[in-house]
Amino acid sequence: MALVCGIADERFSELYWKLRPPYDRGDIDGPAYWTAVVRQQELDLSSDQIATLIKLDSESITRPNQGAVQWAELLHRAGIPLALLSNMPFELSRYVTKSFQSLSRFEYLIYSCDYRSIKPELAIYRNCLELLKAAPQDILYLDDRAENVEAAACLGINSVLFDTVEKTASRVESRFDIPVPSHGRCRQSNSRYSSTSRRSNRTEPD
Whole-angstrom distance, CA of residue 37 vs CA of residue 4: 12
Task: Identify the CA nearest to 199 among candidates 131, 135, 127, 108.
Answer: 135
- Name the CATH superfamily, with its identifier, for domain 66-204: HAD superfamily/HAD-like (3.40.50.1000)
Distances, alpha carbon 58 to alpha carbons 49, 53, 109, 146, 151, in Å: 14, 8, 17, 25, 27
pLDDT band at residue 203 under the 50/70/90 scheme: low
Three-class HEC string of 44-106: CCCHHHHHHHHHHHHHCCCCCCHHHHHHHHHHHHCCCCEEEEECCCHHHHHHHHHHCHHHHHC
The answer, yes or no, to whether residue 185 has pLDDT greater than 60, is no
pLDDT band at residue 184 under the 50/70/90 scheme: very low
The 10s digit of each residue's pLDDT in 144-180 is 999 999 999 999 999 999 999 999 999 999 999 889 9
Q: List the chain domain ranges.
A: 2-59, 66-204
Task: Identify the CA nearest to 156 among candidates 115, 199, 196.
Answer: 199
**What's the whole-number average pLDDT of the chain?**
89
pTM for this model (two decimals) = 0.85
pLDDT band at residue 205 under the 50/70/90 scheme: low
